[in-house]
A and B are shown apart, each in its own frame.
Chain A
């Protein structure tokens, strides 16, 4: 398929790997902050082919995974209420909360529906005036324009039975938080291509300058990842710290202005808790004053609930990149896509799910 298959060419992949081997003279640690990129890297085995010393750390690039446990519990509580149609992207259905997941609510008779697009949730609301339709608005900046449009459509149509449970997160503050951590080893970042298609890359320029880290806006196909890694390594070798754009076919420096306008109108920046990482100031979005009436937390009066994480789950360390799924004692044993202990095993963009799907096992010590 056009604009996909060309970026999967095995011969060009070999050339990029050879170029990488010729370019890297020292060990470097690079982090990608995008679940889609993590998935490609692990499924294609790119991390296993990189020259010795080039280490990829899988960052918190999965918005499903970083959705606070408390928010999952609120979703479960709201979805269980009579007269509510709870809509969500598919991944969120099996994210384990303290007492269960959304799929469990569905199994017990709750009206929980998977939608491919938030506009479907608005259509459901228009078609069911006697029900309250709630949409679980989770995601990075990539999905924010879509979720914003849903609110705008609902407002335009005068719908009083539509609301959103908002748990949006922003990438740049997460990168800063990782760089500020005292034990940080990351020297360069691959920025998420579609987040930047929406937001552009101007927000990354001050980060690159202040922390002296190269940031390369990168796509999702194998050749994109390899080229992005090569560009980052070149900058590191040459002592540069700039923002570069590998994903030029889809990303411009200013991004998508119409989309950003919609986001600014419908949302405002707030602090947010990231599951496994903690609260990062100014790292999330909630509804703006103009559209606060569409906030499900207010409408349903969800109070703060006591949350309890599974003690064996090391999602926090996975999301920060300090541990790999294969380091987890529960991985493939008690924690599987069917019986997940934490979010990274459930989401298609989660690191644990990516490892599991690629059949990665903890390496066993082999007798020589």
Chain B
């Protein structure tokens, strides 16, 4: 489930304890960020059982949606080319 990082905390010398508060549309929870060292405040991450396992690539997300939105209108597809 994707959520937005609100804050990040790394205890001195313990990257394995890197944690952050992640916001899931109004519900928040501390999440372990050790596996996404590149994810910063404001980034979206995919969270599973309290761990961020991947950073959401906003460009790829936009590309996927652009491809979908460029699909022909449903009715046009079914009627075939004019």
How far, in whole Å, are A6 and B56 apart by their CA atoms in the complex? 14
Do B24 and A1 touch (CB < 8 A)?
yes
The reply to whether B4 and A2 form a contact with Cβ atoms under 8 Å apart is yes
Collect the chain A residues with CB atoms within 8 Å of residue B57's CB: 248-250, 252
Provide the residues of chain B in CB contact with A153, threshold 8 Å: 16-17
Which residues of B46-80 are within 8 A (CB) of A? 46, 48-51, 53-54, 56-58, 60-61, 63-65, 68-69, 71-75, 77-78
Contact B51 A156 (CB under 8 A): no
Decide: B51 and A197 in contact? CB cutoff 8 A.
no
A15, B74: Cα distance in complex, Å = 4
Most buried by A among B24, B32, B49: B49
Inter-subunit contact B73/A251 (CB<8 Å):
no
Q: Is the interface of B mostly helix, strand, loop or mixed?
A: mixed
Contact present for B53 and A18 (CB under 8 Å): no
Question: With A22-B77, A117-B49, A258-B34 known to touch, is A251 a contact of B54 (CB < 8 Å)?
Answer: yes
A142 within 8 A of B: yes
Q: How far is the CA of A258 from the CA of B48 in the complex (A)?
A: 15
> Please, how many angstroms separate the alpha-carbon atoms of A118 and B34 in the complex?
14
Contact, CB under 8 Å: B35 / A256: yes
Report yes or no: A194 in contact with B60, Cβ–Cβ below 8 A. no
Check A203 for interface membership: any CB of B closer than 8 A: no
Q: Which of B1, B2, B60 contacts A248 (CB 8 A)?
A: B60
Tell me whether B74 and A14 are in contact (CB under 8 A). yes
Interface size on B, residues (CB 8 A): 37
Q: Is the CB of A117 within 8 A of B35?
A: no
Q: Are A149 and B51 in contact (CB under 8 A)?
A: yes
Write out the residue numbers on chain A whose beta carbons fall within 8 Å of the beta carbon of B37.
258
**Complex alpha-carbon distance, A19 and B80, angstroms:** 11
Which chain A residues border B4 with CB–CB below 8 Å? 2
Q: Are B25 and A1 in contact (CB under 8 A)?
A: yes
Which residues from chain A contact B68 at a C-beta distance below 8 Å?
9, 12, 15-16, 223, 227
Residues of B within 8 A of A6 (CB): 61, 65
Q: How far is the CA of A152 from the CA of B34 in the complex (A)?
A: 12
> Chain A residues near B25 (CB, 8 Å)?
1-2, 4
Q: How far is the CB of B5 from chain A (nearest CB, A)?
A: 13
* Subset of 30 A-B contacts with CB under 8 Å: A4-B1, A6-B65, A9-B68, A11-B74, A12-B68, A15-B68, A15-B72, A15-B73, A17-B74, A18-B74, A21-B77, A21-B78, A22-B77, A145-B35, A146-B50, A149-B32, A153-B17, A194-B53, A194-B54, A197-B46, A197-B53, A198-B54, A248-B61, A249-B57, A249-B58, A249-B64, A250-B46, A250-B57, A251-B54, A259-B53
